[in-house]
Amino acid sequence: MKRFFSGLMISMLTFILLFCVYTSTAAAKADDVEITLITPLSVSKAVAFPVVAKVTNNKLAGDIQLKKATWNWAQREYVKEINQAIRPGGEARQALKTLQGKNERGTLSAAEQNQAKAHYENLKKATSYVRFTVTKEMAAELLAKGSIKLSIDLTGQSLSDQNEVHALQEVVLTAGRAPERPPVAPGAHHSDWYFGDTHSHSTYTWDYYFGDGIYTIPELKSLAMAAGLDWLVLTDHSYCLDANKYTEQKNTVTSLSDGTFAFLYGEELSAAELVNGVKAYDTCHFGSILNSTFVPSQTDIFRKASSPDSQQAINYIKQYGGLVKTNHPNWGTGVLEAWNFNINTYPYTHGETGMEIINASSSSDTNLGSTTRWIDHRLLNGEKVFPFAGSDTESSNYLGGAYTVVYADYLTQQNIKDNLGLGHHYVTTRPGLAEWARKSGTSTWSWMGDSLTIGSGNAEVYISYADSADSLDIVVMKGKTGWTAEQQVYAKTVSPGSGFFTITVGVEPGSYLRAYCKEKTNGNYRAFTTPIWFN
């Protein structure tokens, strides 16, 4: 979920373009018509996928008739006739900025909320999406060459003055390396690592405040596969769904699941936070995974929830057989503060499966706020809460920007969910990192997410890693229920490549061990394991 008016958070291959409008009298304003070209972060697998050009008419008055899009891929032209008019959206945009300011001050009346809704609808009519399909053969060509230039030439006409509208822009698509699998501890059951994403939105998501989901469900699958993902969870906003739509989605994603890709269903549930134990006008978001029944929410025009409350939301999702995670718990101040997880809600809301400690749509979501909240308010509080990562792809494409990597027997909906529910996974933006432990002198390794009975004694810990691009700084942390902070028990820098090492650490009941790493050159490439708990 992204802020709509503070500027879209755009991937490194997403470029905002401006039409050049030619006229014999006076030039139009430079920002009258805007194009956002939305492409993958990178491509690591040869599958077909869409590139989307978002075109918005920002004029105060006057439709623009789009006529033709000419795409050029590696100097080969592909022409698409459009013949679509887009309404002017400048007046609606200006009015919404004013109403947004009043909403932030809490002075927006019910009538003004209805006005805002009408303005949002007008702004939608001022936007069109033009698609280009990169075929499987084109994707293979991209992987072979490493990069390919793609350009779009859009032509149209301003209907108010009959002047020609024309834009030409290009972007370079790049090939990325496939995710790397860390070695597995000796004697571990033969299965495999599967790379996934627990947070995505489709065209079912329409959002007055934050922008629309731009991809169909089948398009999300193709884009996820192009990004090197093995599985994906669809989590459209609960306020955009109902029971019938949720059933449609369940049927669609299940039909798209096969032996090469697991597509899971869920929702992003808005809930009223129990701030200091009292239901407040403050909203958090929970991501669900494979809940059999839809959980509805009640929200106002600006998506602040009145029901369910945060504890009820967790209870309902688990009641219907789903996993539940807290989404983007550290999101900012101002507008975004309303969608984080309030510090004063933690003592009154419990029982979630995990917390989204990496959200790829926010560049500020490094390993600071979310990870700190996970540690301080859950792990050191004695709660067994797992880390999760998701792209939060909605109006931009962040697939491949964050991975939840699970070790499972089979690539199926149920098997992925079952192993996520056990915590047999790590989260990463690129490096591979995994952890096992056993009582010193024994032979069986316990997995990340497991609880191991040792009492007070020594645990042997097996750390494996994989990153061919850079050296890794690997740190092992110990925590214990009631501690005010974790303790570092080991640190090591390893050279590029893959490998493992073992260490011995003293543990006692109520303690846990977890590992994290950062690339030496760029700390934004990092990974976190699920802890191992000790009884």
Instruction: Render pLDDT for 204-260 as a digit per residue (tens, 0 to 9).
Output: 998 755 568 999 999 999 999 999 999 999 999 999 999 999 999 999 999 999 999
pLDDT of residue 20: 33
Cα 99 to Cα 112: distance, rounded to the nearest angstrom:
7
pLDDT of residue 2: 42
pLDDT of residue 263: 99
Q: For the chain, what are the domain ranges?
A: 15-89+126-174, 198-429, 432-535
Instruction: Say if strands 147-158 and 164-174 run parallel, antiparallel, or are unpaired.
Output: antiparallel
Cα 211 to Cα 28: distance, rounded to the nearest angstrom:
26
pLDDT of residue 105: 58
Separate counts of helices (H) and strands (E) for the chain: 8, 31
Given a cut of 50, the residues of the chain with pLDDT beneath it are 1-30, 334-337, 364-367
Does 198-429 carry CATH code 3.10.20.590?
Answer: no
What does pTM read for this prediction? 0.91
Strand order of the sheet with strand 49-57? 15-18, 33-38, 49-57, 127-134
Tokens of 492: 């090591």
Fold match between 198-429 and 432-535?
no
Span 432-535 CATH architecture: Sandwich (2.60)
Cα 161 to Cα 231: distance, rounded to the nearest angstrom:
50
CATH class of the domain whose range is 15-89+126-174: mainly beta
Q: Check if the beta carbon of residue 171 is closer than 8 Å to that of residue 15.
A: yes
Helix (H) or strand (E) holding 373: helix 369-374
Which residue carries 């096969």 as its tokens? 258
Tokens of 27: 């030039």
pLDDT of residue 25: 26
